[in-house]
Amino acid sequence: MGWFKNKIRNWLSSDDYDDRCTTAISSSKRLREVGQISSHGMNFTVYSANGGYVLEYNVYDPKKDENEYTLHIIDSNTDLGTGISHIITYEMLRR
């Protein structure tokens, strides 16, 4: 079993392994930096409740420099996807 530990230790301390780790870390940082969009979109969270769902809608208002929160209820008789699409449409028309 000692030979296996030595093999792993040698592999981890090799320059090739260090180069691959450094490349992976730098590319993930680059993706995070490039992948972020600098605009404020809509955010919503769906909570399960008795008899349906509660949808919390959150949007940033740059004019007031504050977040606006709105709660919507989707009852159990309504399809969840249909309910969410109606809420998004309503909120987009309200703006």
Q: Helix (H, G, I), strand (E, B), or coil: what is residue 77? A: coil
| 74-92 average pLDDT score | 92
Residues 46, 90 within the same domain: yes
66 token code pair: 């504050």
The domain in which residue 13 lies consists of 2-35
Q: The tokens of 65 are what?
A: 């420099």
As a whole number of angstroms, the distance between CA 4 and CA 72 comes to 58
Do both 18 and 49 map to the same domain?
no
Claim to verify: residue 47 and residue 87 sit in the same structural domain = yes
pLDDT of residue 48: 92
> Which pLDDT does position 26 carry in this prediction?
52
pLDDT, residue 53, reads 94
On whether both 49 and 77 belong to a single domain, the answer is yes
Answer yes or no: do 23 and 49 share one domain. Answer: no
Residues 80, 50 within the same domain:
yes
**Number of domains the chain is built from:** 2
**In whole angstroms, what separates CA 31 from the centre of its chain?**
14
Helices and strands in the chain: count of H runs, count of E runs = 3, 3
Q: Are residues 9 and 46 in the same domain?
A: no
Q: How far apart are CA 72 and CA 93, in angstroms?
A: 15
For residue 81, the cross-strand partners are: none
Q: How confident is the model at residue 21 (pLDDT cuts 50, 70, 90)?
A: low
